[in-house]
Amino acid sequence: MIREIGIAGGAYTQICEEAIRAYPEEGCGVLFSGEDPHRVDFIKAMKNTAEDKENGDRFHIDPLDLFRTEQEAEREGRQIIGFFHTHPDRRAVLSQTDEQYMIPGMLYIIVSLSGGRVTEIRGYKKEKEIMEVVLRI
């Protein structure tokens, strides 16, 4: 099992910027690899279409938007390896809903914000069980 995932500095910066931009709502996006499937090289912020996103505890990406993003990534030689979302004014730990909807093998990065500032970033994967992964920038 992979217990460490690399993140390119530019991708890490973009994740933080998107988290701050979305605050106080929950922001979300897609994580892509280039050549190394164990490294986040690119991200794409996505529109949070959850009906109760104002509460800062749900995110949903429109399936058609995700499909188009996946097609674009394939054309560019990238692969979707996971998703990121924010937890405004909450810790960067998986909620029960997060755990329920995790896709096995995908990386999930959660960004915690307090007062509009990034305070914590954590990564998780679900294989046979859910585990926290080390994010190496």
| Per-residue model confidence (pLDDT) at position 1 | 61
User: Within 13 Å, how many C-alpha atoms sit on residue 32's CB side?
Assistant: 20
Q: Compute mean pLDDT per 10 residues along the chain, 137 residues long, and list them.
A: 88 98 94 94 95 66 95 95 96 94 96 96 95 95
Distance CA 61, CA 47 (A): 7
For the chain, how big is the Rg over CA atoms in Å?
14
| Per-residue model confidence (pLDDT) at position 3 | 87
Domain 4-136 has CATH 3.40.140.10: yes
Output the pTM of the full model. Answer: 0.93
